[in-house]
Structure 1
Amino acid sequence: MSLDTVVEDIRDEARARAEEIRADAEAQEDELISEAEADAEAIREERAQEVEATIEQEREQMLSSANLEAKQERLGARRDVLQEVRAAVEAELADLEGERREELTRTLLDAASEEFDDSDDVRVYGRADDEALLADLAEEHGYEFAGERECLGGVVVESDTSRVRVNNTFDSVLEDVWEDELREISTRLFEDQ
């Protein structure tokens, strides 16, 4: 399995989770807009008895304020939804098990291995729960499992001999995908808004 396939799998998982959350985000946004419009209308009616110029001036000020507040709340709601999607993807990555976890970890270790010479003394680090898997995969490459690193999965591979360190953790792959695809994720979540 290539790194591109891993990245695409992560993208697909993020997109699927994004679609699930999209409906909730739309409902939140509609409610915020309705409340802001209702507030603006109530303010206009309350000032109806005042001088026409004062009414128009205050109405414009309040509409602008309400629209700005609604926009800020909508942006905050979108940010919250994106954080929920990210957390859900991280949870799914952390919960991967069995053959799927082994396949992704092997792919990431294979990709990292390309950075090292055969003569390098290479150490592999990873998630504590993956110790047995990482020890087996490291041994297959002639590497040493050297300990745990706080991550969702994947590998950190390093060698003092060549002074190279490769971070191929699920976290780093997700971060790259998230940064590259944030606009697309946001568009999918909030399209038609």
Structure 2
Amino acid sequence: MYIQLTWEDPEMGEVKRSLLAAPIAIGRELDQMPEYWGGESVSRLELANPEISRFHVLITVANNQIYITDQRSANGTFLNGRPLRQANQPISFKDTLRMGPYKMTATLVHSNDLNATAQSPNVASFKPSVKSIPQKKVVIWAIGIGVLLLTTFGAWAVASTILERSRPQPSPTAPSSSSLVK
């Protein structure tokens, strides 16, 4: 049994996928996660973020069902927006797990389905968020250029006004040049 975890990297905005054999330990530090659980070798997924505990959750499979257990993480684990309250909480492919800034989906993949994972609607249904970093960079650059243009126009307007006011103005009582030529 394998579990495909899919999430959007909160820093880069890229969609990440990991196909791991169950049981799976997720945490911030590899050396704090167990290598074995219940006599089985553990797949470990490191999420380097301070909001993730050193050993945050354990994902297991029993009777073709995925289960998740929060390992007393500091910031908690959320299933569809609700805090995980019980050990061995069952989850389905429609459920969303949140740990710190990471939102994940988990899909059970049987060993004989490994070649079909790209065609599976459950696995391929994850769509990246519209709020990806490259789009944010374009918006930030556009705002920056707009601010730069407005600042430049404002400086030009102020300088023009100062120069216009500093020019000597003809006094209203001074004779005009046409009246001097008679």
TM-score by length of 2: 0.22
TM-score by length of 1: 0.21
Q: Which has the larger radius of gyration?
A: 2
Structure 1 or 2: more strand by fraction: 2
Structure 1 or 2: more helix by fraction: 1
